[in-house]
Amino acid sequence: MKHRAAALVALLSLNLSVAHAQDQHAQHLTPDHDARAVLDLTASERVMILEEMRLFLTGVQKMTGRLGQQDMAAVAEAARGMGQKMAHAVPPALRVKLPMEFRQLGASVHRDFDQIALDAESLKDVSYSLGQLSATLQKCVSCHAMYQIRTPALNAGH
């Protein structure tokens, strides 16, 4: 049982590492050249977006730990916490700054986590949930590959 859990966690980690390496290689990012679209945000808007990303990362860590233990009820609980329940009203001033594709991608990630929660409870299939999680994380990878966040204070140094 412990070997299977360790293998699942290793598989997920490898999947994330490969996706990140492929993305970095494909983008040819260097410190002097970052071709991603710039989201010009205020410092507080940047904090709001980054806080949500950190909450996603914490939730994914909880999910993978529970998937390794085959605790599907806890997987569902962690996933549900990142679903529509986590989504909050975006202030109008921030909404107009965010590209439609960015907003749609974010909304689809919240919907994905709600679906993962439902399926974890009903199917109780670790492999299926890992597949769903991998597909959802690919959306995160895509978003990070497309966008960067800058604030006026950060731009002053460039």
99-126: per-residue pLDDT in tens?
Answer: 999 999 999 999 999 999 999 999 999 9
Full-model pTM: 0.78
For 44, counting Cβ atoms within 10 Å of its Cβ (0-12 exposed, 13-18 middle, 19+ buried), the class is: exposed
Q: Cα(121)–Cα(111) distance, rounded to whole angstroms?
A: 16
Confidence of residue 33 (pLDDT cuts 50, 70, 90): confident
CATH no. for 2-156 = 1.20.120
Q: How many CB atoms lie within 10 A of CB 136?
A: 21
